[in-house]
């Protein structure tokens, strides 16, 4: 999924180049080592990834009682699962799930751009931090969703949640059609970061 909100096409490349230059300088000065960089990158690739959120969503889709507990007390429900990271630190504290229904769609934004729940969703996409997206999603969320391909029916209530250090929101999207009989692992493979933000729905396997 590609989302653009006035973000210059080469800005991401320039940012990546600056990161590489900073990394090389820190290594040269002896502040960090290649092993340090590899360890941090490995942590985000293997532990703090959207796969955690996908597993949570898949369990909610297959266990109605868990889904109810997840919304009522998200940290306690998540603690029931065997995930590689905890939800009590490193951007995972104060986690709160909201569930989409046929009549309600949830969208999570962060106007401060500092409260993304890393343990559940991984690192935020570059467009999520873009000032244009943050401003427009708060001001005209339904229009922004339509521009990204999600045209909600007027009868569907749209709720916008602004994440902060006190509440780090993520969305439990609706289970798509055509998934009866699928295992939790197969269902988790369908879940995307965008769907757990609320900027998209989970596509059916047929799609």
pLDDT band at 87 (very low <50, low <70, confident <90, very high): low
Would you place residue 43 in the very low, low, confident or very high pLDDT band (cuts 50, 70, 90)? very low
| Residue 155 is a catalytic residue | no
Domain coverage including residue 175: 50-197
Structural domain tally of the chain?
2
Same domain for 139 and 65: yes
Question: Is residue 135 in some structural domain?
Answer: yes
CA distance 2 to 148: 8
In a domain, 67, yes or no: yes
Longest C-alpha distance within the chain, in Å? 59
Query: Does 115 qualify as catalytic in the annotation?
Result: yes
If you average pLDDT over residues 96-125, what whole number do you get? 89
CB 91, CB 170: distance < 8 Å = no
Q: What is the pLDDT of residue 40?
A: 47
More confident residue, 89 or 129: 129
Indicate the pTM of the whole model: 0.77
Contact 125, 195 (CB under 8 A): no
Q: Tell me which of 110, 155, 167, 204 is the catalytic residue.
A: 110
164 has catalytic annotation: no
Domain co-membership, 14 together with 98: no
Same domain, 170 and 81: yes
Residue 207 lies in a domain: no
Does position 35 have pLDDT exceeding 60, yes or no?
no
């Amino acid at each position: 999924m590609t989302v653009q909100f006035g973000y210059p096409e080469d800005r991401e490349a320039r940012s990546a180049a600056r990161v590489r230059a900073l990394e090389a300088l820190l290594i040269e000065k002896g502040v960090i080592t290649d092993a340090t960089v590899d360890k941090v990158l490995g942590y985000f690739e293997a532990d703090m990834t959207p796969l955690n959120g996908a597993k949570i969503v898949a369990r909610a889709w297959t266990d109605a009682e868990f889904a109810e507990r997840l919304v009522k007390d998200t940290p306690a429900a998540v603690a029931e699962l065997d995930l590689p990271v905890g939800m009590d630190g490193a951007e995972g504290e104060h986690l709160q799930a909201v569930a989409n229904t046929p009549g309600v769609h949830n969208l999570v934004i962060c106007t401060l751009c500092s409260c993304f729940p890393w343990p559940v969703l991984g690192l935020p996409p570059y467009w999520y931090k873009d000032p244009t997206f943050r401003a427009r999603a708060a001001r005209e969320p339904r229009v922004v969703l339509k521009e990204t391909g999600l045209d909600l029916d007027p009868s569907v209530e749209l709720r916008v949640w602004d994440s902060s250090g006190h509440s780090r929101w993520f969305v439990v999207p609706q289970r798509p059609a055509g998934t009866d009989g699928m295992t939790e692992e197969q269902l988790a493979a369908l879940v995307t970061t965008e769907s757990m933000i609320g900027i998209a729905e989970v596509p059916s396997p047929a799609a």
